[in-house]
Amino acid sequence: MRVVFLSDIHANFPALCAALDRARLLKAERCIVAGDIVGGGPHPVEVIRLLRERSVLAVGGNVERKLLSLRGKNKRRKRWLKRPHCAHLVWTARQLGEAEWDWLAALPAVLEMDLESVPVQVVHGTPHSDEEYIFPSVTAEALQRFELDPAVRVLVCGHSHIPFTKKVAGIRVINCGAVGRPVDGDSRGAFAVAEFNGPTSVNARIVRFRYAVNDLVADLEERAVPGARGGEYLRGVKLRGV
Amino acid sequence: MKAVERCFLFMGSQRRAWSGLAALGYHLEAVGAEAWRGTYYDTHSGSLFRRSIRLLGVQDPAEWRWRIAEPATAAEAPLEEIPEDPPPPDDAPVTWRGQRLLPVLRVRVHQRVFKLTAPSGQQFELALVDAAFARPMAREWVPGRRLLSLSIPEGQASEVAVIGSFLRDLFRIRPLPGDLLVYGLEVAGAHLPGAPVPAELKLRPDDTLRQAGHKLLVRQAFKMRANVEGARMDLDPEFVHDIRVATRRARFALRLFGDELGAADAAALRDELSWIAGLLGQVRDLDIMQQNIRRYAVELAGRPPVPAAIGAHLRRCRTDALDALDDALGGERFQRILTWMERIAEGERPDLPFDQLRRVLDAAPPLIHAATARLQRWFKREPSKLEPAQLHRIRIHFKRLRYTCEFFNDLFGDVFAEAIGKCVEFQDCLGEHQDAQVAQARLREMADRLAEDGGATTETLIFVGGMIQQLEGVARECRRRFERNWKKFPRLIAAIDAATGSGPVPEPAS
């Protein structure tokens, strides 16, 4: 069974479409999203509608958690609007309809499933928190701290926007990178594809794909997404702190 | 009701897009088919276009009506904002809000209309549009590619944006960079209204003098091409005027950059431009004369009507001049001139090493100072003793100074705007003086000719006499104005010095 794991779409619809096109070419049977579906990008509604229509399994990320605290009329929106790094969340909140809010609210923080009898856990950051990171330097000791279910053989995460796949202490760790907000100097989007061939065989690799980044940059400008810098998308970098 | 409208270039499979939309929860229902044709109108300068206003005369299919629209928010306009009368079916010019509107593009549309209901219940109108376009003068229609147009009631712009993303990213249907007018003009091979100068023809600080000369000539050729059709159709006198101005600027650019462009080539091209300038001048002078006669006749005591013989004579002369111009503008010789202007000095001079190439940024201030120096020599003369021919000479020098400043203005971030404004004041005053002189000579010549033909009645001769007196008065008034302004000439020099020379050289525009 071939499964693609996407993460950190960040409301980048052209990138999501390109990723799904590539997944189709790879003959992937399932698609699972490891959080940060919206936030920062200009297409939150489009992204949610498409994932909902395709019945894609997903977990919520730190962005979704913060966004849900803005649901409905509340004073936090006004306060956050004044914070440069939060204003995009308020903008996103204003775009969403009830159906989109409901879909976001139903996202779990962790997904646990068996794929071809392989126990898989999908989180956004780490099993402990959606704000912690798992980097390529992750060690067996670090994994132990997460107190994973001993049965889990594959841990899928995102959040760091740095894609990698690595086997640590018998666990295949997959960080999907970012579909819609790469920051590793490569402007192409990234996701992970894993091949599950029975309980002991899991192969995974990172796929990079091009998408219409100019369309995205034009939409960022046209829709006036607060704090968005088109140049960062064009270069695949992040020029300021989170 | 106001609406938001977007257009897409429809490529690929309609079935795939329709089934894809259905999968996303959209419901599509055929409403019917429509056919209409219409004409886009704008002012000669393209002022409506610049304000994002699209004025379209539509026939759908039984009656003509106006439709005013903006690309982002298409709308049926309130009644006071559109012309009262229906648009002319024959694409003739029309007057609106005191402006003369000209046909810009004809469009013929056949469309299939669908009602699209979003999962949220929001309703769109979606149309598959097959459109063909024609320039006002062209007989043949040029078909465009199939378009998909999407419109939705006001206030739901984000919904259009969402479905626009689905069409673009999911079904690969590209949005049109502009609206139907911009697309149609591109399909029909026509310029945008007002023919804005393309960005690549603007001077850049790192251009060499030769590149600058080349760009300025291509720019004039562009302006000439943009106005040929309107001039030949005689839609508005401004089209002839604009070609004439572009011709003058081109001739001056050849004079200014002659050495860089190749002296022999530049001189030969200037001679060719003189030929078309002569023909343009004949029509333009008659336009001005007709305008002035109408204006000054009103100012004459007793307001006598312009005698029919004079009116008919002027119209006849203009028709003859315009016929000659029409032949010239449609002929191969004029096309050769335009091509020559576009190709002259295309590459850099092969005989000079790179470090000896003169940069326009360095060369511009001395060229502007040379133009002011020529005028300063005249400033030493007593203005009341200047002959009309000398005043005309001064006018030409002002024109050259103005053109020089205008050529380099975008390079220095508009610092010459004030100086250009002052030059225009001098030029207008001296131009009116010159027009009055030319009109007097023409009236005398016309009276002689009418007398020879036996068409000069007493009434005509009295009118001509009165008109000549009036024109003499105008010329005297212009001279007085010039003498007053002439004292302020040092201020113009100071404005130019401030912008370029005596002070620090201005920073180049980025």
Q: What is the pLDDT of residue A40?
A: 93
| pLDDT bucket at B352, cuts 50 / 70 / 90 | low
Mean pLDDT lowest among A166-170, B2-6, B329-333: B2-6
The tens digit of pLDDT for each residue in B375-430 reads: 888 888 888 888 989 999 999 999 999 999 999 888 887 788 888 988 999 999 99
In a domain, B395, yes or no: yes
Residues in A touching B20 (Cβ below 8 Å): none
| pLDDT bucket at B185, cuts 50 / 70 / 90 | very high
Q: What is the pLDDT of residue B354?
A: 61
Contacting A residues, span 160-189, partner chain B, CB-CB under 8 Å: none
Asked whether residue B272 falls in the same domain as residue B400, the answer is no
Confidence check: pLDDT of B82 > 90: no
Could you give the CA distance from residue B324 to residue B247 in angstroms, rounded to a whole number? 17
Contact B169 A17 (CB under 8 A): yes
Taking a C-beta distance cutoff of 8 angstroms, is the pair B40, B135 a contact?
no
Asked whether residue B340 falls in the same domain as residue B212, the answer is yes
Across the interface, of B24, B161, B168, the residue whose CB is closest to A53 is B24
Confidence check: pLDDT of B350 > 70: no
Q: What is the pLDDT of residue B504?
A: 42
Q: What is the pLDDT of residue B2?
A: 46
What does the block give as tokens for B328?
């010239």
Taking a C-beta distance cutoff of 8 angstroms, is the pair A186, A236 a contact?
yes
- What type of residue sits at position B472? E
Confidence check: pLDDT of B505 > 50: no
CA angle, residues B399, B405, B409, in degrees to nearest 5: 140
Could you give the CA distance from residue A82 to residue A66 in angstroms, rounded to a whole number? 16
Q: How far is B486 from chain A (nearest CA, A)?
A: 51
Asked whether residue B315 falls in the same domain as residue B433, the answer is no
| pLDDT bucket at B76, cuts 50 / 70 / 90 | very low
Query: What is the residue whose two structure tokens read 């909140």?
Result: A93
Confidence check: pLDDT of B308 > 90: no
Asked whether residue B215 falls in the same domain as residue B351, the answer is yes
Could you give the CA distance from residue A104 to residue B476 in angstroms, rounded to a whole number? 82
Instruction: Write down which residue in B306, B337, B356 finishes a domain.
Output: B356
Q: What is the pLDDT of residue B75?
A: 47
Q: What is the pLDDT of residue A115?
A: 93
* CATH for A48: 3.60.21.10
Could you give the CA distance from residue B105 to residue B136 in angstroms, rounded to a whole number? 6
Residues in A touching B170 (Cβ below 8 Å): 17, 50
Residue of A9, A46, A220 to mutate when probing chain B, most B C-beta within 10 A: A46
Asked whether residue B109 falls in the same domain as residue B176, the answer is yes
Burial (CB count within 10 angstroms: exposed 0-12, middle 13-18, buried 19+), residue B445? exposed
What is the domain range of residue A220? Answer: 2-235
| pLDDT bucket at B71, cuts 50 / 70 / 90 | low
Shortest CA distance to A160 belongs to which of A48, A62, A18?
A: A62
Average pLDDT over residues B331-336: 95
Residues in B touching A212 (Cβ below 8 Å): 169
Residues in A touching B119 (Cβ below 8 Å): 49, 99
Q: DSSP E strands: which ranges in B71-187? A: 94-96, 99-117, 123-134, 142-143, 147-153, 174-175
CA angle, residues A131, A134, A136, in degrees to nearest 5: 150
DSSP secondary-structure letter at B131?
E
Residue of A nearest to B171 (CA): A17
Please name every residue paired with B110 in a beta bridge, in sequence order, or none if there are none: B35, B130
C-beta atoms surrounding B397 within 10 Å? 21
Asked whether residue B329 falls in the same domain as residue B257, the answer is yes
Q: Which segments of chain A have a pLDDT < 50?
A: 241-242
Q: How far is A111 from chain B (nearest CA, A)?
A: 25
Pairing verdict, β B174-175 and B27-42: unpaired
Q: What is the pLDDT of residue A166?
A: 93
Across the interface, of B119, B120, B165, the residue whose CB is closest to A46 is B165
- What type of residue sits at position B492? L
Confidence check: pLDDT of B40 > 50: yes
What does the block give as tokens for A26?
């790879």
Residues in A touching B168 (Cβ below 8 Å): 14, 215
- Chain B contacts to A (CB-CB under 8 A): 23-25, 119-120, 158, 161-162, 165-166, 168-170
Mean pLDDT (chain B, rounded): 84
Our count of domains for chain B comes to 3
What does the block give as tokens for B388?
């009309």
The tens digit of pLDDT for each residue in B191-238 reads: 888 888 888 888 888 888 888 999 999 999 999 999 998 898 888 899
Q: How far is B51 from chain A (nearest CA, A)?
A: 18
* CATH for B94: 2.40.320
Average pLDDT over residues B298-310: 68
Q: How far is CA A83 from CA A36, A63, A226, B193, in A?
A: 20, 15, 10, 44
Q: Is A49 at the interface with chain B, CB within 8 A?
A: yes
Q: Is A97 at the interface with chain B, CB within 8 A?
A: yes
Across the interface, of B120, B162, B169, the residue whose CB is closest to A99 is B120
Residues in A touching B25 (Cβ below 8 Å): 49, 53
- Residue A11 φ then ψ, to 5°: 55, 35
Q: What is the pLDDT of residue A84?
A: 74
Q: Is A17 at the interface with chain B, CB within 8 A?
A: yes
Confidence check: pLDDT of B318 > 80: yes
Asked whether residue B49 falls in the same domain as residue B149, the answer is yes
Asked whether residue B169 falls in the same domain as residue B117, the answer is yes
CA angle, residues B377, B379, B385, in degrees to nearest 5: 110
| pLDDT bucket at B455, cuts 50 / 70 / 90 | low
Contact A13 B169 (CB under 8 A): yes
Asked whether residue B382 falls in the same domain as residue B318, the answer is no
Whether the ipTM is more than 0.95: the answer is: no
Could you give the CA distance from residue B94 to residue A67 in angstroms, rounded to a whole number? 55
In a domain, A240, yes or no: no
Give me the percent of chain B exceeding a pLDDT of 90.
29
In a domain, B192, yes or no: no
Residue of A50, A102, A211, A220 to mutate when probing chain B, most B C-beta within 10 A: A50
Shortest CA distance to A178 belongs to which of A51, A40, A48?
A: A40
Q: Is A185 left (phi over 0), alpha (psi -120 to 50) or beta?
A: left
DSSP secondary-structure letter at A106?
T
C-beta atoms surrounding B272 within 10 Å? 16
Q: What is the pLDDT of residue B51?
A: 83
Our count of domains for chain A comes to 1
Residue of A nearest to B23 (CA): A53
The enclosing H or E element of A215 equals helix A213-222
Instruction: Write down which residue in B128, B157, B187 finishes a domain.
Output: B187
In a domain, A229, yes or no: yes
Give me the percent of chain B exceeding a pLDDT of 70.
89
Q: What is the pLDDT of residue B320?
A: 95
- What type of residue sits at position A145? R
Residues in B touching A209 (Cβ below 8 Å): none
C-beta atoms surrounding B122 within 10 Å? 17
In a domain, A241, yes or no: no
In a domain, A119, yes or no: yes
Instruction: Write down which residue in B317, B334, B356 finishes a domain.
Output: B356
- Residue A158 φ then ψ, to 5°: -145, -125
Residue of A nearest to B162 (CA): A46
**Is residue B53 helix, strand or coil?**
coil
Confidence check: pLDDT of B347 > 90: no
Residues in B touching A16 (Cβ below 8 Å): 169
In a domain, A108, yes or no: yes
In a domain, B232, yes or no: yes
Q: How far is B367 from chain A (nearest CA, A)?
A: 40
The tens digit of pLDDT for each residue in B128-143 reads: 999 999 988 788 999 9
| pLDDT bucket at B363, cuts 50 / 70 / 90 | confident
Please name every residue paired with B32 in a beta bridge, in sequence order, or none if there are none: B113
Taking a C-beta distance cutoff of 8 angstroms, is the pair A20, A73 a contact?
no
Asked whether residue B402 falls in the same domain as residue B501, the answer is yes
Higher pLDDT pick, A34 / B122? A34
* Positive/negative CA dihedral, B238, B239, B242, B244: negative
Asked whether residue B159 falls in the same domain as residue B275, the answer is no
Q: How far is CA B400 from the centre of its chain?
A: 20
In a domain, B414, yes or no: yes
Average pLDDT over residues B70-96: 62
Asked whether residue B364 falls in the same domain as residue B328, the answer is no
Contact A53 B162 (CB under 8 A): no
What is the domain range of residue B306? Answer: 197-356
Taking a C-beta distance cutoff of 8 angstroms, is the pair B278, B247 a contact?
no
Confidence check: pLDDT of B79 > 50: no
Across the interface, of B25, B162, B165, the residue whose CB is closest to A53 is B25
